[in-house]
Amino acid sequence: MPQPEKILYTGKTHTTGGREGASRSSDDKLNVKLTSPGSSGTGTNPEQLFAAGWSACFIGAMGIAAGKMNIKLPAETAVDTEVDLAVTAGEYSLQARLNISLPGLEPEVAKAIAAEAHKTCPYSKATRGNINVEITIL
């Protein structure tokens, strides 16, 4: 694995209690209670946090891809990401669906932007070959 040329940012969190605990960032901008998926707890769960981070990163990657194509992303651009916690071959696993809305763009243009973003988004790179990922243009 090649070493990075430059570190742009390091996200730091401190988590206690696992899925029934809490997590906060070193700058206190993130401070959340954690709860297991499907429970009646009042917190969020790791799958939701992963989905939110991936959605935000993917929109940024689509902006870069669109810019290279001299296209402006619509103001209403959205990504609805679904991350499943599953059991595969008796072990816990993840799978994901990214449902992309690029209103006003031709379907082929939207597909090209999403495909390029999926190649460059750091979350997509981190999961490539490790989990099933479906990308749908809405």
**Domains in the chain: ranges and CATH:** 1-44 (2.20.25.10), 46-137 (3.30.300.20)
Instruction: Report the b/e string of 16-28 with b at 16+ CB within 10 A.
Output: eeeeeeebeeeee
Residue 15 pairs with which residues in a beta bridge? 23
Phi, psi of 81, rounded to the nearest 5 degrees: -105, 135
Beta bridge partners of 23: 15, 32
| 15's tokens | 């988590």
What pLDDT does residue 47 have? 96
Coil, strand or helix at 136: strand
Task: Give pLDDT, residue 100.
Answer: 98
Q: Distance (Å, rounded) from C-alpha 108 to C-alpha 127?
A: 25
Distance CA 99, CA 94 (A): 17
Amino acid letter, residue 42: T
Q: Count the neighbouring beta carbons within 10 Å of the beta carbon of residue 57.
A: 19
CA distance 61 to 135: 14
pLDDT in tens, the chain (138 residues): 789 999 999 999 999 999 999 999 999 999 999 999 988 888 999 999 999 999 999 999 999 999 999 999 999 999 999 999 999 999 999 999 999 999 999 999 999 999 999 999 999 999 999 999 999 999
* Those residues with Cβ within 8 angstroms of residue 59's Cβ, 6 or more apart along the chain or in another chain: 73, 77, 78, 79
